[in-house]
Amino acid sequence: MRTMRTTAAAAALVAAAGLALAGCGSGDDGGGSATDKPATVEKQQHKGGTVLDQPFDKPDLTLTDTHGKSYDLIEKTKGRPTLLYFGYTHCPDICPLTMSNISVAKSKLPEEQQKKLRVVFVTSDPERDTPKELRKWLDGQDPSFIGLTGDFDTIQAGARSVGVSIAPSYKKKNGDVVSTHGAQVLAFSPEDDKAHVLYTEGNSGPDILEKDLPELIEGKNP
């Protein structure tokens, strides 16, 4: 895990922005706690993404894509504007809403910009999210979205490297399955392949993303 400078003010700011773990599941009670240090921020926009004081390197992840092929995240998205999100297909609320927001915003972009953008969804529930399940779910959002699955420990380590906490899925007594994961969307610049901006659940609406994406795609901070 990368070591990050964190001030009390920045930590409070990020906490207020909603970086705590989100427990997703019918009748869910949270089921987890964040143990990783929050990202240090430079500033919080009134509406929109949080600009990171210390950008994140892209996770060194080689997983399986929805075609069953090996996918090296760093190599496959090198020099491409990339949005990265960790979630799972059985999520009842946050994950489908977040991906839908991205899909709607992307659809408003000129075709040339749409072709440049890479949207990568990494499952936090690989036991259930097979390549086939991921593809079916993502096709309901945008067929161009990339889905990745694989070994949970590998995925968890990759998520932690960018300040996103995820925990193994577990079944409650009533049979509900809970998957606990951070709700951040990380935006990686095509200029240096680092995440300079992140979005949280409350600041990733389609109107916000539609406004910010053109600048992110060109390697600028919105």
Q: How far apart are CA 51 and CA 216, in angstroms?
A: 12
Q: Which two tokens stand for residue 132?
A: 């086939």
Rounded Cα distance between 182 and 67, Å, is 26
What span, in angstroms and rounded, lies between the C-alpha atoms of 114 and 107?
Answer: 7
Looking up tokens 């760093």 gives 74
What is residue 62's three-state secondary structure? strand
> What pLDDT, in 10s, does the model give residues 99-153?
999 999 999 999 999 999 999 999 999 999 999 999 999 999 999 999 999 999 9
3-state secondary structure (DSSP) of residue 78: coil
pLDDT tens-place string over residues 17-30: 334 455 554 333 33
pTM over 0.85, yes/no: no
